[in-house]
Amino acid sequence: FQRLFSPSQKPRSELVRTSLRLLTSSAYRLQSECRKALPAEPSPAPDIQLVTQQVIQCAYDIAKAAKQLVTITTKENNN
């Protein structure tokens, strides 16, 4: 996600930086939660309902951050 902006093209807006941080952290959390759903054989079975709720929350946060980025960058490009 950070590759959206080259080092010489840092996001100007704090809102963009905040949205990118939310997007990145949510993607890492989603990856972690998905790994929990497929544990190694010897470990105990995960609480699939809890993992599912966490995956849904991560997906929501990703969608929220993406919407914020689209809104902010559209406004910035129109100015």
Quick: pLDDT tens for 41-71: 676 777 889 989 999 999 999 999 999 988 8
Indicate yes or no: pTM above 0.85. Answer: no
In a domain, 53, yes or no: yes
In a domain, 38, yes or no: no
In a domain, 13, yes or no: no
pLDDT tens-digit profile of 17-49?
A: 888 899 999 999 999 988 887 766 676 777 889
Question: What is the predicted pLDDT for the residue at 76?
Answer: 73
In a domain, 71, yes or no: yes
Both tokens of 34, joined, read: 């998905």
In a domain, 24, yes or no: no
- Range(s) of the domain holding residue 55: 48-78
In a domain, 33, yes or no: no
User: Do residues 40 and 1 make contact, with C-beta atoms less than 8 angstroms apart?
Assistant: no
In a domain, 74, yes or no: yes
User: Do residues 34 and 55 make contact, with C-beta atoms less than 8 angstroms apart?
Assistant: yes
Question: What is the predicted pLDDT for the residue at 74?
Answer: 83
Structural domain count of the chain: 1
Statement: residue 3 has pLDDT above 70: no
